[in-house]
Structure 1
Amino acid sequence: MRGRLGRECVYVPSCRFGLYVALRHWCPPGGRVLMSPVNDDVILFVVLAAGLRPVQAPLHPLDASIDIAAVPEETWNSLSAVLTTNLYGNPDPAPELRARCDALGIPLFEDAAHAIGSEVGGRPVGTWGEASVFSLSKHAGAQAGGILSLSDTGLGDAVRGTCEHLLTAGRASSELAYAVRPYAEAAVRGLGLRRAARSATGLLGLAERDGIRMPLRPDALARAVGAAPDLTAFDPWVRVDMHTYRLRSGPLRLRRIRRRLGRLDRVLTRSRDGTELLSSTRWARPRAGSEAQPLFRVPLFVADRDAAVAALARRGIVVGYLYDPPLDDYAGEMFTDLSPAPGAARWFARHALPADPLRAREVIDVLERSGARPADPPGDLTRPEATSDGPGPFGD
């Protein structure tokens, strides 16, 4: 990763852990962080755990990147930091955000979990901010590990020391479970037992999400906010889908991660090819004049997203990385500053179907056979009063 980015890189057990370390290093508690409302809820809780106030940004409706021009000037002047998302690998406008942050004297953080291999402004995503975080569970497929990248090479030892202080001890049982997981998942797929496996997970109390978003539990969350900054207080929210997020990595994890990273360039080539194919379909709305990036997922826009998800599931294609409703509709103004123009985020969250470019031909075949209809164009959703799609299901 140092070779790819030309920056100091620190291995961390997860992207979310690395982001927490970066926020704590640069941002004193009580600060305000501009972020995207179309993002994993875990990221909202990481920002809260660091003792910071999330501020939801207006977005461009076709790639969910931050719409810089739609952010009110008074909001810019109140910020302590900006956090990009680079959703599905589509880059946020990092050069412009870098210039804004420099003018304000605040740090820029890049969440590049989906964006290994993506570029913006002629540079890799993750090379514009004071810090950036990468997930090794996405393109690399290692199901563990992350990278915290730093613009200042002199900070490596200090950041490693912070990580050591926050890590929990590794466990032999966790290493064993990690080692056998790929074989168990392959057996489930081969025997057609996905539905039974999901049912068993629910009966054992291991399923922490009934829907796309995890339960907010506002009373308990308010108590955790009162204890922030404190990662342990937020553990019930931050650990969802990855209970090993702050666990010290053992040799089995590190060995598999090295093997997976050795195949990364081949995966990125296949991802770029699949992205080009999906971007040529009637459900796609790619950026005009832009070259295909090796996206982790390609957002296709369908009128009835839930029906399309069900049709793909019948083919054995599980659609994940859905972020509906947007975070401000999900969390409310008790836990975040609401976007001044929420329409674009709501439209994207409701209609985006994140398609795996490695299975592009299968996805296209299913959508064609099911008669999936492209979503109507979003129109002008950048105005504060533009709420034609209505609030998300948890809004009011």
Structure 2
Amino acid sequence: MRDRLGRECLYVPSCRLGLYVALRHWCGPGGRVLMSPVNDDVILFVVLAAGLRPVQAPLDPRDGSIDVSAVPEATWRSLDAVVTTNLYGNPDPAPALRARCDALGVPLLEDAAHAIGSVAGGRPVGSYGDASVFSLSKHTAAKTGGFLTFADPALRDTLREARDALLTPSRFSAELVHALRPYAEAGVRGLRLVRAARAVMRLLGMEEREAIRMPLRPGELERAVAQAPALPPFHSWVRVDMHDYRISPGRARLRRTARLLDRLDDRLAAHLEGTRLLLASPWGAPGPGPVQPLFRVPLLVADRDAAIAALDRRRITTGYLYDPPLDDYASELFTDPSPDPEPARWFARHALPADPRGAERIIAVLEAAGVRPAGAPPAPGSGGGPPGGTEGGTGG
């Protein structure tokens, strides 16, 4: 990863823990952080756990990236940091955000969990920020691990000590479950027992969401916010779908992760090929830049629930849905809402994240089901209106 990015890298057990370490190092308590409202709710809770106030950014409805030009000047002047999302691998405008952060004298932190192979402005995503975080649970399918990367190599010891202070000891039971999980998943797929497997995963704490967003529990969350910055009061939110998010990895876990990382370029090539097919479909929305090896391709469909149902009938699971946007989900009690929320609502309501490795099969199912493309997205500044969130699907 150091060779790939041209900067220092520190292994972390999860992207979410790496982001928490970065926020605590680069941002003082009480700071205001610009972020995307179309993101995993876990990231909102990580920002809150770091003692920071999330500020939701306006988005480009075509790909869910931050719309730099739509952020009010007063908001820019109030910020203490910017966190990118690079949703599904579509890059946020890192060069423009880097320039803005430099002018303001605030850090840029890149969440590259979905974007390990994406490029912005001719450089890898993750090479612009003061710090960046990557997930090995995504493109490599390691189900664990990630990297915290940073521009200043002199910070390595400081950041390693901050990471180590948050780690929990490795457990034999956790290592055994991690080692057996890929074989169990392959077995249930072969026996077509996906629904039963998901029920078992919920019992084991590997998948806990009944709807797209986890329950907010505002009363409990207020009490946790009062104790921030501190991670333990937020464990019940931050650990969702990944109870080992801060575990010290055992040797077997590290060996398997390293083997999968060695195959990264082959995986990226497969994602790139599938992304091209999906973007060329009636539901694709190609961006202005080069085609990226997206982790998921956000197809824009008129009726997402119907599309999910059609895919589910063919045992194709849809995950990584982020609806409603975080400002509608969390309310003004826990976040500053976007000044123009409708583009994010539109994107969150219509985006169907498609795994590019199954591109041909997904296209065939959607065509057979008569799934229609979404209409034109709202123009910037089109106003608020009622939240457009829908229930159903699975969280990321």
TM range (shorter): over 0.9
1:251/1:213 Cα in 2 relative to 1: closer, same or farther (>3 Å)?
A: same
Q: Secondary structure at the match of 1:336?
A: coil
Question: What is the alpha-carbon distance in structure 1 between the residues aligned to residue 304 and residue 168 of structure 2?
Answer: 40
The answer (yes or no) to whether the contact 1:20–1:47 under 8 Å persists in 2 is yes
Q: Residue 296 of structure 1 aligns with which residue?
A: 295
What residue identity is the alignment partner of 1:259?
Answer: R
The structure-2 alpha-carbon separation of the partners of 1:119 and 1:314, relative to structure 1 and needing over 3 Å to count, comes to same
1:377 aligned counterpart, secondary structure: coil
Q: In structure 2, do the counterparts of structure 1 residues 94 and 392 end up closer, same or farther at CA, with 3 Å as the change threshold?
A: same
1:32 and 1:286 map into 2 onto residues whose CA distance is 32
Map 1:299-378 to 2 at 5 A: 299-378=298-377
Q: Distance in 1 between matches of 2:262 and 2:328?
A: 41
For 2:145, the aligned partner's letter is G
Q: How does 1:1-396 map to 2 (within 5 A)?
A: 1-201=1-201, 208-288=208-288, 290-380=289-379, 382-383=380-381, 385-387=383-385, 390-392=387-389
Structure 2 distance, partners of 1:206, 1:97, is 35
Deviations, residues 321-365 of structure 1 (Å, cap 9, x unaligned): 000000000000000001110000000000000111111001101
Q: Which runs of 5+ in 1 are unaligned?
A: none
In the aligned structure 2, how far is the partner of 1:197 from the partner of 1:189? 9
Instruction: Give the percent of matched residue pairs that are identical in Structure 1 and Structure 2.
Output: 66
Give the SS at the match of 2:346.
Answer: helix
Q: TM-score, normalised by structure 2?
A: 0.96
Counterpart AA for 1:292: V
**Letter paired with 2:184:** A
- CA deviations over 1:134-174 (Å, ceiling 9, x no partner): 00010011110000000111111110011111111110110
Q: How many pairs does the alignment contain?
A: 391
What's the CA shift for 1:204?
Answer: 7.3
SS of equivalent residue, structure 2 residue 319: coil
Structure-2 separation of matches of 1:123 and 1:301 = 27
State the shift of 1:392 in Å.
3.1
Say whether the 8 Å CA contact 1:14–1:144 is kept in structure 2.
yes
- Decide whether aligned partners of structure 1 residues 296 and 204 sit closer, same or farther in structure 2, where only a CA change above 3 A counts: closer
1:206 deviation in Å?
6.8
Q: Which moved more, 1:15-24 or 1:187-196?
A: 187-196
The structure-2 alpha-carbon separation of the partners of 1:105 and 1:206, relative to structure 1 and needing over 3 Å to count, comes to closer
Change (3 A) 1:206 1:133: closer
Mapped contact 1:341–1:385 kept (Cα < 8 A): yes
Specify the SS of the correspondent of 1:77.
Answer: helix
Whether the aligned pair in 2 keeps the contact of 1:33 and 1:52 (CA below 8 Å) is yes
Q: Quickly say closer, same or farther: Cα 1:30–1:200, change in 2 above 3 A.
A: same
Q: CA deviation at 1:285?
A: 1.2
User: In the alignment, residue 357 of structure 2 is paired with which amino acid?
Assistant: L
Instruction: State the Cα distance separating 1:88 from its structure 2 match.
Output: 0.4
CA distance in 1, matches of 2:249, 2:163: 12
SS in 1 for 2:78: coil
Q: Deviation string for 1:18-48 (max 9, x for gaps)?
A: 0000000010100000000000000000000
Change (3 A) 1:217 1:68: same
Return the alpha-carbon distance in structure 2 between the equivalents of residues 200 and 292 of structure 1.
37
Structure 2, unpaired ranges of 5+: 392-396
SS in 1 for 2:149: strand
Shift of 1:313: 1.4
3-state secondary structure, aligned to 1:284: coil
Task: Give the secondary structure class of the aligned counterpart of 1:159.
Answer: helix
* Residue 390 (structure 1) shift: 4.4
Q: How far does the alpha carbon of each residue in 1:265-309 deviate from its partner, in whole angstroms, 9 at most, with x for none?
A: 001011111111111111011114x22111001110111101111
Shift of 1:314: 1.5
- Describe the superposition over 1:64-94 as per-residue Cα deviations: whole angstroms up to 9, x where unpaired: 1111111111111100000000000000000
SS in 1 for 2:229: coil
1:351 alignment partner AA: H
Contact 1:142–1:256 under 8 Å retained in 2: yes
Q: CA deviation at 1:221?
A: 0.5
Supply the distance in 2 between the matched residues of 1:310 and 1:108 (Cα, whole angstroms): 39
Q: Which amino acid aligns with 2:97?
A: L
**Alpha-carbon spacing, 1:206–1:265, altered in 2? closer, same or farther (3 Å):** closer
Q: State the Cα distance separating 1:208 from its structure 2 match.
A: 2.4
* Contact 2:90–2:294 (CA under 8 A) maintained in structure 1: yes
Equivalents in 1 of 2:209, 2:275: separation in Å?
Answer: 29
Write the distance in 2 (CA, Å) between the matches of 1:276 and 1:391.
Answer: 29
Runs of 4+ in structure 1 deviating by more than 6 angstroms, as ranges, are 203-206
Partners of 1:168 and 1:248 within 8 A in 2:
yes
Task: Give 1:199 deviation, angstroms.
Answer: 3.6
> In 1, Cα distance between the equivalents of 2:185 and 2:253?
17
The separation in 2 between residues aligned to 1:218 and 1:171, in whole angstroms, is: 32
